Structure 1
Amino acid sequence: MLRNLGDPRYRLTTNFDLADFINGQGLVDLDLSGASFTWSNRCVGTDLIQVRLDRDLISVEWIQHYIYSLNSMVRIGSDHLPICLMTEPKTGLRRRFSFRFKKMWLSHPNISNSVKDWWNVQVDGFAMFQVAKKLRHVKERVKKWNREVSGDIFVQKSAIQEELVLIQDKVKHEGYVNDNFSKESEVLSKCLNIISQEETFWR
C-alpha cells in the first residue's frame, strides 16, 4: 500500500487516479527528511499554503538493491523546495572517479604559469618514470590550488545557504510573521549574489 494515503495533506495534493495507479504498480512514496512540505505560496498569515507536491516513487524491488536517503535542500530561485535522492548499491561497492582537468580552470589568469612551474619540478629516473611523477605532482598541486583559489567563494556560499536554511525553517514553523518574509528575501538576495560571483569567477 502507498504510505500516507490517509494523510489529509496527501489527499489535497494527489489525484486519486494517479494514486490508484501507484498502488496498482506497487510503488512506494519515499519518506522525505528535513521538511514536511515542498511548495509554499509564501503568503503571510492565514493565506499561507504549504503542501507536499514533490515526491520520489520507487518499486519494492528497487529498495532491495539500494541504500537510499531522500533529503530536502535549500530553496533559492523557486517556490518549490528541491529534493535530492542519494543512492548506493547495497553491495557497498563505490565507483572511483579518475582525475580530470576542468576546462574552466583555464579561464583563471595564473593557472598556465602555475602548471608550467609545477611541471618543471626536478625528477630523477627513466623518461617515462619522470613523466608519470610529474603528472602526479601537477595533479596534486592543481587539486590544492583549486581548493585554495575557489574555496573562499564556496565557503561564503555555504554559510549563506546555511543561513537560508535557518530562516526557511522558521517560515515552515511560524509562517511569514514578523520580519520572516523580509529576512528570507534579504538572504535570498545574498545567495543569488554569491552565485553570480561564482559564475563570474569561472567565466
Structure 2
Amino acid sequence: MTRISREAENTVNQVIVYDQSKEQADGISNEGEHAECEIRSPYVQIRVLWEELSLLGLTTEAWVMGGDFNAVTSTAERKWGRLPYRTAGNEFVNFINANALLDSTNLGFNFSWSNRRHGNSRMLQKLDRILVNKKWLDAATGWRSRILQRRFYDHSPIIGWFTSIPKPHNIPFRFKTHWIKHESLKVLVKKSWDEPLEDIPIRKTMKKLKRLKETLKIWSWETFGDLRNKK
C-alpha cells in the first residue's frame, strides 16, 4: 500500500511519498521507504510535482493521496472571487487522468477552503481532497471520504473510512449456553483440565485455559456442526 502526504510551509511545498516497492524516480532523493522533493513555485513549477509522482509508477499498486493540492479541477470547485488559474487546474486534471485516479471526497461540504472573509471579498474553494485508484477501491471495500465543517482554520478536515469492516481473524472465544445441556461437556472439560502440564502456577492456568478453548472449539464443530449457517 502506498501513502502520499503533502505539507506546505510558506511558499515551499513538500511532498513525501511512502511506497512499499521503494521505487526511485529521477530528480527525487530516495531514503529508505520515502522520497522527498520540494516545489518552490505553487503555479509555475507545480507541474514538476505531478511529473515526479507519475514517474514513480504507483498506478501499478493500490494507493491513496490526500491533502491540500492548491488547485481546483473546474470552475464549479470555486465560489465567488476571480476565476481559478486555468493552467494549474488543467495540469492537475491531466495528472489525475494520466494516473487513473478518482476523487473519493464526494460527501459532506462542497468546499474545503475559505479565505475567512465576508461580503464581496469572500471566496470558497475545494482545494483539499483524497484521490485513489481503482486498486485501492478494490482492496478497501466501501471506501468513502467526507469534507467536514471548518471551525478554527481556513481548511476543512477530511476523513476517510471503510463502510465494510472486515471480520478480524482473532475472534474472542465465547462459551455457548447450549453446550451446558450436552451430557458430554462435563467429561470433556474435566479430561482437558486434568491432563498434565508443567509450568509455574500462573502460566499453567493460562495454558490450560487456552488448551481447553481449542478443545471446546473442535468438540462444538464435531457435535453441533457449523453454527454460522444455522438460524
Under a length normalisation based on structure 1, what TM-score does the superposition of the two structures give?
0.40
More helix by share: 1
Under a length normalisation based on structure 2, what TM-score does the superposition of the two structures give?
0.36
Higher relative contact order (CA 8 A, sep 6+): 1
More strand by share: 2
Query: Max radius of gyration: which structure?
Result: 2
